[in-house]
A and B are shown apart, each in its own frame.
Chain A
Amino acid sequence: MNVLVMREVSRDHGTGPNVVHALRGVSLHVAPGEFVAVMGPSGSGKSTLLTLAGGLDTPTAGQVLVEGTDLGSLGTAARAALRRRSIGYVFQDYNLIPTLTAAENVMLPRELDGVRTRRARREALDALAEVGIGELADRFPEEMSGGQQQRVAIARALVGERRLVLADEPTGALDSRSGEEIMRLLRARCDAGAACLMVTHESRHAAWADRVVFLRDGVIVDSTGAPTGPESLLEDVR
Chain B
Amino acid sequence: MSIRHGILALLSQGPRYGYQLRAEFEASTGATWPLNIGQVYSTLARLERDGLVAKADADAEGRFVYRITPDGEEEVRRWFATPIAPADRPRDELAIKLAMAVTTPGVDVRAVVQTQRTATLRALRDLTRLKADAPPLPADAADASWRLVLESMIFQAEAEVRWLDHCEAFMTRLALERRPAAAQTGPEAEAARPDERPEVRR
Pick the contact of A227: B129, B157, B161 (CB < 8 A): B129
A238 to B199, CA, bound (A): 41
Interface positions, chain A 182-238, Cβ under 8 Å from B, are: 184, 187, 203-204, 206-210, 212, 214, 216-217, 221-225, 227, 230, 233, 236-238
Q: For the complex formed, measure the closest distance between the CB of A202 and the CB atoms of chain B, giving whole angstroms.
A: 8
Q: Which residue from chain B places its CB closest to the CB of A39 in the assembled complex? A: B121
Q: Decide yes or no whether A42 CB sits under 8 A from chain B.
A: yes
Contact status B126-A203, CB under 8 Å:
no
Pick the contact of B125: A47, A48, A207 (CB < 8 A): A207
Contact status A208-B132, CB under 8 Å:
yes
Q: A203-B121, A222-B117, A224-B122 are in contact. List 15 more A-B contacts (CB 8 A).
A: A13-B202, A39-B121, A41-B169, A43-B199, A184-B132, A206-B121, A207-B121, A207-B127, A207-B157, A214-B114, A222-B114, A233-B126, A233-B130, A237-B32, A237-B130
- Show the binding face of A for B, using Cβ within 8 Å: 13, 20, 22, 39, 41-43, 45, 47-48, 184, 187, 203-204, 206-210, 212, 214, 216-217, 221-225, 227, 230, 233, 236-238
What would be 26 A-B contacts, judged by CB atoms less than 8 Å apart? A20-B200, A20-B202, A41-B168, A42-B201, A43-B202, A45-B202, A184-B132, A203-B120, A203-B124, A203-B158, A203-B161, A204-B124, A206-B121, A207-B124, A207-B127, A207-B157, A208-B128, A208-B132, A212-B118, A212-B125, A217-B195, A217-B197, A221-B114, A222-B115, A230-B133, A236-B126
